[in-house]
Structures are given as structure tokens and as C-alpha cells.
Amino acid sequence: MKTILITGCSSGFGLEIARYFLARDWNVVATMRTPREDLFAPSERLRVLPLDVTDPESIRQAVEEAGPLDALVNNAGFGAASPAELIPMSTVRDIFETNTFGTIAVTQAVLPQFREGKAGVVVNVTSSVTYKPLPLISVYRAAKSAVNAFTESMAQELAPFGVRAHLVLPGRSTETAFRDNAGAFMHGLDHEAYEAVVKETFARVQDTSSPLTYSKDVAEAVWQAVTDPSAPMRIPAGADAKDWAAENA
């Protein structure tokens, strides 16, 4: 029976991905900063482990306790909405520390066993905002774009060892805690110079009449990446993400 480790499983996409693989008879190592087993139905194939992707010792302990793995999904991350001029450098560093450096660090911790075993799949969940520019998320987009570039180059290095790497790019979703988590990192949205762009951007975000991404869309895309050796490098997840991918093909 195969085993997958998933980061950021406390809510949203990560939680749905973990449940999806559990329902398909995989062993699941669901990680989050503060473990909550009550999020899942009891299962002998589930382990919930603490993991802070910004803490090297936490990463080491989680990977060691997880044991042999067949797949890794880097899903942990958060966003922030701010004009580029006004976002504090401390927030810039926090976003890159979790979304980019954390993804790289967890991947580095797992890759030796994949390379030595000549098998394994790494799936990095980024965002459809990397397909085209949007206002107020310049740093978040930059952090996710960096993961895209990292993953694409890494995939070429790993191919000779029989190890695959893929990107899953979700669109906008109302089923995650993204906006709630981003709230503490919003800066400068009340600045009069950016009033018009903030108003227009938030109106677009709150419009639920346009296509959206659902958590199941992301879980299905991750499943494809993990289980289908012919899966493409980039897999858009959600109707809006697929539209954007087609526009940028």
C-alpha cells in the first residue's frame, strides 16, 4: 500500500487532498502546524503529524516519523493583499519563507529516499495567478512563480532517477481559509492613492458568478499528478484555472 505526505492539511485544499487519497486506499501522512485528528474520520491508514515548514527541525522530525514515502504534496502556504509599494519587507520574507523556502526545504528532506529508491512523485501546489498578473498580490505571485521555476528545473534533474515532479495550479476558491489567513498580512489597502484599484480588485474577488475552483478539483488534479505517469508538468485545477491556462497556452 502506497504512502503520501501532504503539508498544510488543517483546512481547504490540503484537507481535501488528504481525504481524497484516504478514500482511495492510500496511507496518508497529513501534516499541519497544530495536529487535529478530529478533522478526519478514524482510519488505520492515517497519521496526523506536526510540521512547520519554516522550521528545519520540525521538517526533519516529520519526515523521519513518516518513514518510506511514495509521494509528497507541498500544499502549505498563505497569501497577502497589498500594493507592492506598501507591503512591509517582514511580510515579504514571511510569504517567501513559507510558500517558497518551506516548499524547497520539505522537498529536499524527502528527495534522498526517492532518488535512492528510483521512484517517487513530488507535487507542488502553487496558483493560477502565476499565469497572468493581478494587482495587490505581487509578492504572493512572485513566491508561487519561484516554486514553479524550481519545480520545472528539478523535474529535469530527477527524471534520470525515475522520480517525477509536477505543479498543480488552483484558481480562486471560496472553500479555503485563504482570505481569512491573508487578513493579518494586508497592508496599505486604505491608502487613497490605491483606492480605485483596491475597490475594483475586491469587487472581482467577491464575484461568485464567474468560474471558481473547488477543493475537489485540486484533489483530483493532485491524484492525476501522483498516479498518472503521463500527467503533464502543469495541471490547472478548477474551471477558472483551466480558462487561464488555455489563454496562456
Q: Which residues are marked as active site?
A: 140
Residue 53 CA to chain centroid, in angstroms? 12
The SS3 of residue 231 is coil
Residue 190 β-bridge partners: none
CA distance 51 to 102: 11
Neighbouring C-alpha atoms within 13 Å toward the C-beta of 208: 4
Contact assessment for residue 46 and residue 30, using Cβ atoms and an 8 Å cutoff: yes
129 grid coordinates: 495567478
The SS3 of residue 83 is coil
Residue 27 β-bridge partners: 3
CA distance 174 to 114: 35
Tracing cell 513559507 back to the chain, one arrives at: 98
Residue among 13, 54, 3 nearest 33 (CA) = 54
Contacts of 56 (CB under 8 A, 6+ apart): 105
